Amino acid sequence: MARQTVADVLVDTLAARGVERIYGVSGDSLNGITDSIRRHGHLRWVHVRHEETAAFAAGAEAHLTGRLAVCAGSCGPGNLHLINGLYDCHRSRVPVVALAAQVPSSEIGSGYFQETHPEHLFAQCSHYCELVSQSEQMPRVLEIAMQTAVSRRGVAVVVLPGDVALREASQRLSRLQFPEPSPLVCPSDDELAALAKLLDGAARVTILGGAGCAGAHAELIELAGRLNAPVVHALRGKEFIEYDNPFDVGMTGLLGFSSGYHAMKSCDVLLMIGTDFPYQQFFPESATVVQIDVRGEQLGRRTKVDCGLVGDTKTTLRALLPRLQQHRDDTHLKAARAHYQHARKGLDELATGEPGRTGSHPQYVARVIDELAADDAIFACDVGTPTIWAARYLTMNGERRLLGSFTHGSMANALPQAIGAQASHSNRQVVALSGDGGLAMLLGDLLSLRQLRLPVKVVVFRNDALAFVELEMKATGILDFGTELENPDFARLAEAAGLLGLTAARPEQVRPMIAQALAHDGPALVEVLVHRQELAMPPSISLEQVTGFGIFMAKAVLSGRGDELIDLAKTNLFR
């Protein structure tokens, strides 16, 4: 039998678990792994230009498929570059294994070239992180890592010195042969009975759903109908809750609508399902709060909870529904839906093009993307204003998917996540809604689109600023500083990288340019000039924000920057 290395066992074990690709950047400490991939062809090495991109891409694949995804970094700096993307994977609760190469095993602890200690580096962004120092540990450590990532929904790290990867393997066969467990978690009969009694006695129930509602759309809609309850969603729940939902009243939170905010504030019972919605100021002050979550540690950590139940959404709702009476009074639902229709109309009125002007309203750009994109498109949106426009103007339909850094909040996530989405879903249309600041941060991976033959479509919202940061400064009365971006011509940069590059400088160019990019057989980038001073109003304005904005206006005038106020008025008030 041919000699088999530890790296060979690692690759075979990953392939046996259904892993199809590893995202990473090659390095000498990874040579054993990459050479095994080359020789055996079991996996695809997805060569990106930055390890942070590799981690984001793996996270996107794991989010979309629900299955294990893998990324890799060489020793030292390669490991460090993985960290931000892995934080996002971990906080988004997607199963990712990171292969962190290490310096030669005999040099560990000597301060060797590029030496770090991954066990410490990854401690806060992983459920499991272990060093393989002996060939006898493989494949068991890898199997434990895989099982941990899948079962706990997060990151696991295997640290492998380059010399150990090249040693002859002691064990050749993987030990995990069972299918992935799929347990059902449900509250007890007594807990369900108490919850049914509470809900049957309530006059105004509002449901707040999150990402934990994935796979339970039918049960959620039936519950809302039984209770005549408006359904508010958190951002991570948008793709699972918003579509085919006659009880939808929009989103709440900093990026949400006033209708979602008021539906929660006016209820007497708030039923939280599968959400860890973080913003305490949006919760009702006097309502009875019920929280259902498969993770017991999340119960009550955001707001006071009167009834907390541990259970997965689908199983729990199926057990609860037969116990509930049909609510007859729909006053609360009708009021919330009317408010939503009014709020939605206001948002739609902002998403218009004004021919002849330089620059477009970003709302209009997002609306055009929504109208032209495929019914099963996968969207990835950068943190900042692109996330606002995606949340408010992209329409989910049960087939479309939405990626973002919605919990970790990292810049530069859209392009890397689009890479992972397209690499794992070659037959789907993938669209990245990128900010000019986010795209520039990991700009090098535009080259990956061409090299990997990935037909990702990138729409750049160019406003030459870190616009969301500027809004935050204005809201607190601070003159914006350090947010200016002196950008290149992104379309010409894209052309130089081998992509189709297009520029939409005026509103009438937006639709034809985006349509051309979406129809292009290959990667494409559309640079859209958008208004820098576009306000993104939260669902509720605090006195502090009003005061802060007033202070900003006074400072702007006194410092000779009154032209900003004129631009702000032209963009927002005179529409």
Residues 364 and 335 in one domain: no
Strand extents, DSSP E, 520-559: 524-529
Dihedral of CA atoms 464, 465, 471, 472 in degrees, nearest 10, equals 170
What residue spans of 351-456 are helical by DSSP H?
Answer: 362-372, 385-393, 414-424, 436-441, 446-451
Sequence-ordered list of residues with C-beta below 8 angstroms from that of 151, at least 6 positions apart, any chain: 181
pLDDT of residue 69: 98
- pTM equals 0.92
Burial of 199 (0-12, 13-18, 19+ CB in 10 A): buried
Q: How far is CA 407 from CA 9, 88, 279, 478, in A?
A: 35, 7, 12, 26
Both structure tokens of 269: 């019972």
Lowest mean pLDDT among 189-198, 238-247, 448-457, 561-570: 561-570
Residues 335 and 371 in one domain: no
Handedness of CA 472, 475, 478, 481 (dihedral sign): positive
Q: Are strands 401-404 and 288-293 parallel, antiparallel or unpaired?
A: unpaired
Residues 256 and 237 sit within 8 Å (Cβ to Cβ): no
Residues 316 and 408 in one domain: no
Residues 21 and 45 sit within 8 Å (Cβ to Cβ): yes
The CATH number linked to 239 is: 3.40.50.1220
Is 501 part of any domain? yes
pLDDT of residue 533: 75
Lowest mean pLDDT among 254-268, 415-429, 524-538, 554-568: 554-568
Catalytic residue of the set 205, 310, 383, 530:
383
Give the domain-ending residue among 342, 371, 403. 342
Give the domain-ending residue among 165, 198, 222. 165
More confident residue, 106 or 354: 106
pLDDT of residue 480: 81
More confident residue, 571 or 45: 45
Say whether 114 is catalytic: yes
pLDDT of residue 537: 57
Catalytic residue of the set 6, 9, 11, 51:
51
Say whether 51 is catalytic: yes
| Mean pLDDT across the chain | 92
What's the CA gap between 328 and 371, in Å, rounded?
37
Is 177 part of any domain? no
Is 500 part of any domain? yes
Residue 338 has pLDDT above 50, yes or no: yes
Residues 357 and 316 in one domain: no
pLDDT of residue 180: 81
Is 179 part of any domain? no
Percentage of the chain lying above the pLDDT 70 cut? 92
What's the CA gap between 240 and 396, in Å, rounded?
8
Is the bond leading into 139 cis (omega within 30 degrees of zero)? yes
Instruction: Report CA Rg, the chain.
Output: 25
pLDDT of residue 562: 47
Number of folded domains that form the chain: 3
Model confidence over 71-120: pLDDT tens digits? 999 999 999 999 999 999 999 999 999 999 999 999 999 999 999 999 99
Model confidence over 199-212: pLDDT tens digits? 999 999 999 999 99
pLDDT of residue 566: 44
Is 559 part of any domain? yes
Residue 547 has pLDDT above 60, yes or no: no
Residue 568 has pLDDT above 90, yes or no: no
Say whether 468 is catalytic: yes
Catalytic residue of the set 48, 94, 102, 114:
114
To the nearest 10 degrees (0 to 180), the angle between helices 313-320 and 189-200 is 70
Residues 358 and 325 in one domain: no
Say whether 283 is catalytic: no
Residues 500 and 405 in one domain: yes
Say whether 130 is catalytic: no
Range of the domain at 25: 6-165
Model confidence over 158-181: pLDDT tens digits? 999 999 999 999 876 767 777 888
The CATH number linked to 449 is: 3.40.50.970
pLDDT category of residue 567 using cuts at 50, 70 and 90: low
Residues 87 and 67 in one domain: yes
Residues 510 and 369 in one domain: yes
Residues 492 and 536 in one domain: yes
Catalytic residue of the set 56, 282, 406, 468:
468
Is 455 part of any domain? yes
User: Mean pLDDT throughout 468-493?
Assistant: 87
What residue spans of 442-575 are helical by DSSP H?
Answer: 446-451, 467-475, 490-496, 507-519, 543-558, 562-572
pLDDT of residue 468: 83
Is 392 part of any domain? yes
